[in-house]
Amino acid sequence: MTILITGAAGFIGFHLSRRLLSEGNTVIGLDNLNDYYDPELKKARLKQLEPMSGFRFIRGDLTDSDLIDHVFLENRPDIVVHLAAQAGVRYSIENPECYINSNLVGFFRILEACRHYPVHHLVYASSSSVYGNQEKTPFSVDDRADHPISLYAATKRSGEMMGYCYSHLYGIPMTGLRFFTVYGPWGRPDMAYFSFTKKILAGETIRVFNFGDQYRDFTYVDDIVEGIMRLLDDPPEASGTAVRHRLYNIGNNHPEKLLRFIEILEETIGKTAEKEFLPAQPGDVFKTYADIGPLERDYGFRPKTPLEEGLKRFYEWYRDYYGGKQ
C-alpha cells in the first residue's frame, strides 16, 4: 500500500513510518520541520527513514492547499494517517494562532483532499485532552467531551467533529484516535519524561506541578504503533445510514501517579532528582485514564510494555543519541 503520513518526522509518525516501511509499504512522509522543539531531532529521525526502501519525504505545510492537492494527485495514497499537529497544552495558552492554523486549517486541507481524492481509510490523531478535568474514570469515548480546558484540547475536539461531518457528507471512511501520554525513544523534548531526564543528569531542579498529585496513562510508543497497525486496513464499513466514522481511546488503561513515575525514572537513571513542587498550571488536567475496551474488543489491542521497561529503553536511546551533546 501507499500510505501518506503527515508529521512523519514527529515522534509517533517516525515510529509508524519505520514499521510500515519494514513491512514493505510505500510511505510518503509530509512534515514542515517547524521549531516548536529542536528541528535537528526531527532531521535525525528522517535520516533513519531515508535509507529505507519505499520512503519519500516532502517538506511542506499543511495549510498550503496547492501543496496538499499536489501530494494527493501525484501519489494517490491508499491510506492517510494524519498525525501532524501543533502539540502542547501550555504552548497553546501563549501561541493560540499556531493551533488554529495547524490543527483546524491543516486538518481541513487533509479532509478536502480525501474528499476529492478518495482514500481507503483516513486515520487521524485526537487527544485525551478532549476529556478535560472530568471526575469519572476511566475515560470512555461515550463520555461527553465538551468542556476543554485548553485551546489545544478545543482544537482536537473540533477536529473530531469536522471529521464526523466530512464522513457524513462525503462518505470518507475515518477513524479518530484519542492518544493518551505516549513516551519512548526518539520522543518529544517538550514532554516531562524527556526534560526530567535532561535535568536530572545535569543536576538541575525539576519542576513538579500540582505538587506531584497528577496521574497520567503512560503508553509506550511501540504499543501505540501496534494499535495503529491493527486498524489501518480495516476502515469503518458502510452499514445502512451509519456514518463511516469512529473514535477510539488508545492508551495504557493504567494511570500512574506523577511522583511514582519520577521514582521509576530516578531508579532507571541511577540518580535522585532535585525537585521544586509547584501548583498546577493552567490547562493541565488532573488525571488521564483510558478505557480501551472498544479497541481491545475490535482489534485485540492491549499494551504490553511495563513503564519500567519503557523508560529503560528510552534512557538507553537518550544516552546513545545525546552522548556529549548536552
DSSP string, 23-81: TT-EEEEEE---SSS-HHHHHHHHHHHTTSTTEEEEE--TT-HHHHHHHHHHH--SEEE
What's the CA dihedral at 222, 216, 36, 146 to 10 degrees? 110
Residue 97 CB partners (closer than 8 Å, separation 6+): none
170 among known catalytic residues = no
Out of 91, 124, 131, 152, the active site residue is 152
How far is residue 162 from each of residues 44, 129, 174, measured CA to CA in Å? 33, 17, 11
HSE toward the beta carbon, residue 321, CA cutoff 13 A: 20
- Burial class for 117, CB neighbours closer than 10 Å (0-12, 13-18, 19+): middle
Contact 119, 78 (CB under 8 A): yes
Spatial distance between the Cα atoms of 272 and 156, rounded to a whole number of angstroms: 36
Contact 34, 87 (CB under 8 A): no
| Location of C-alpha cell 491493527 | 230
The catalytic residue positions are 152
